[in-house]
Amino acid sequence: MTPTAVYTLAAVLLGGPAVMLAPFLIAHRSAESHADRAAAAIRQAAARQEVTR
């Protein structure tokens, strides 16, 4: 097996699963950041309600 074939095989074996899992990792990060922003907005709204009471 030539060195180029070895590098290509390694790239396919390592890169294939990473490419397939990337959308799930991106979606997870997006959901986490959305949850953090929503929680902050809810805390801020609750704090404003307590101030007006």
Please write the tens of the pLDDT for every residue from 1-53: 899 999 888 888 888 888 888 889 999 999 999 999 999 999 999 999 988 87
Tell me the helices (H) and strands (E) count for the chain, helix number first.
1, 0
Answer whether residue 7 is part of any domain.
no
Answer whether residue 26 is part of any domain.
yes
Confidence (pLDDT) at 26: 93
Confidence (pLDDT) at 11: 86
Cα–Cα dist 27/40, whole Å: 20
Answer whether residue 3 is part of any domain.
no
Domain count, the chain: 1
Confidence (pLDDT) at 32: 97
Answer whether residue 43 is part of any domain.
yes
Answer whether residue 40 is part of any domain.
yes
Cβ within 8 Å of residue 51, ≥6 positions away: none
Residue 27 sits in which domain range?
19-53
Task: Quickly tell me which residue has 């009471």 as its tokens.
Answer: 53
